[in-house]
């Protein structure tokens, strides 16, 4: 019984067995199914003075093993169980009809417009509070003017914030709450910059000094400054000119979608506005046209998908009454 205490004789115990018995035990020994190996422990943190090793492959292991991201074992275990997996959003999309898809697209756009108004109202919170306090407890002069100055200040802030948000593409962004908040902050930063410029111009007029000239608040360089929150490096004149030409070409492509008489009527309407507000109105209108262009593209894609599905059902002999009626009307 010395082998129980691990005195080293157990290492040669198998060799001392009868050869026929040893062969029998090796053949009949139960193998069984091996338990899955546990995930490897995390790698120790690299020391500051230790050189970093280049990565062998940047491709995620889950994509290489064919296991979706929902699996807790990205190393490929239980991959056969995930072969027929369908994500929840794909299952929900399968049960949505073509009419419901179109309805969802339109409702999403309307909700986006409502969210834009809410974002503009949040950016004008101080102006709104000033108007609210004036109506709540007005002074003598405020009672006589019915808080006209406070209301005018708030209305202008709200109107300009809406235009800035449209110009920055708030209606077209779909990057989630973080992207929405970033655009909202940029719009407020540009508005505060415009208010500072107007204050400096008014101060120069009062003092009789030369009126300072400022770059447009909605210029590409100012928007880049607001987005990056850092001064933009000086660029060559050719680069600036090329960027302006590209922007002008993009605007011409958008204006080409508008009828000439409608564009002439809109240009006339813009000409009636103050000079400092004409560019804001034009950029806001272009931003809204871009969002409507994206909406039109989504609707067209939905119609194309619906037509392809009707053609598949007709080829498979499963056409519905609605498919037949649409084909009679020339919808394909």
d(CA 185, CA 120): 10
147 lies in some domain: yes
Average pLDDT over residues 68-96: 72
Look up the pTM and report it. Answer: 0.61
Average pLDDT over residues 189-195: 90
274 lies in some domain: no
Average pLDDT over residues 63-90: 72
Report the interhelical angle of 260-271 vs 275-315 (nearest 10°): 150
285 lies in some domain: no
Q: Which residues does 216 contact at the CB level (< 8 Å), separation at least 6?
A: 222, 279
- Range with the poorest average pLDDT among 62-76, 134-148, 154-168, 262-276: 62-76
Number of domains comprising the chain: 1
86 lies in some domain: no
For residue range 291-306, list pLDDT tens digits in order.
888 888 888 887 787 7
Q: Which residue has the higher pLDDT, 177 or 76?
A: 177
For residue range 40-75, list pLDDT tens digits in order.
555 555 555 554 544 444 544 444 556 777 777 777
Q: pLDDT averaged over the chain?
A: 75
42 lies in some domain: no
How crowded is residue 278: how many other Cβ atoms within 10 Å of its Cβ?
Answer: 14
Q: Residue 135: which pLDDT band, with cuts at 50, 70 and 90?
A: very high
**pLDDT of res. 283:** 85
106 lies in some domain: yes
Residue 219 sits in which domain range? 94-233
116 lies in some domain: yes
Average pLDDT over residues 134-154: 90
């Amino acid at each position: 019984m010395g082998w129980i205490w691990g005195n080293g004789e157990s290492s040669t115990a198998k060799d001392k067995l009868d050869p026929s018995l040893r062969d029998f035990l090796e053949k009949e020994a139960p193998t069984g199914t091996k338990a899955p190996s546990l995930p490897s422990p995390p790698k120790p943190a690299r020391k500051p003075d230790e050189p970093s090793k280049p990565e062998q492959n940047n491709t995620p292991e889950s994509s290489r093993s064919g296991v979706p991201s929902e699996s807790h074992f990205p190393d490929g275990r239980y991959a056969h169980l995930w072969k027929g997996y369908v994500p929840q959003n794909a299952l929900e999309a399968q049960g949505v009809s073509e009419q419901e898809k179109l309805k969802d697209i339109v409702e999403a756009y309307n909700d986006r417009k409502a969210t834009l108004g809410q974002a503009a109202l949040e950016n004008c919170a101080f102006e709104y509070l000033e108007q609210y306090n004036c109506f709540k407890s007005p002074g003598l002069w405020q009672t006589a003017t019915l808080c006209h100055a406070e209301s005018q200040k708030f209305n202008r802030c709200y109107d300009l914030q809406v235009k800035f948000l449209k110009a920055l593409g708030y209606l077209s962004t779909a990057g989630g709450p973080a992207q929405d908040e970033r655009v909202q902050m940029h719009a407020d930063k540009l508005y505060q910059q415009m208010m500072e410029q107007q204050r400096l111009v008014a101060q120069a007029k009062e003092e009789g000094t030369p009126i300072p000239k400022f770059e447009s608040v909605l210029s590409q360089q100012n928007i880049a400054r607001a987005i990056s929150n850092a001064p933009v490096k000086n660029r060559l004149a050719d680069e600036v000119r090329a960027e302006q030409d590209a922007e002008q070409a993009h605007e011409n492509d958008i204006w080409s979608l508008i009828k000439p008489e409608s564009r002439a009527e809109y240009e006339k309407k813009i000409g009636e506005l103050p000079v400092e507000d004409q560019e804001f109105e034009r950029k806001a209108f272009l931003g809204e046209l871009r969002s409507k262009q994206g909406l039109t593209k989504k609707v067209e894609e939905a119609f194309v998908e619906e037509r392809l599905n009707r053609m598949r059902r007709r080829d498979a002999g499963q056409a519905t009454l609605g498919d037949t009626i649409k084909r009679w009307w020339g919808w394909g």
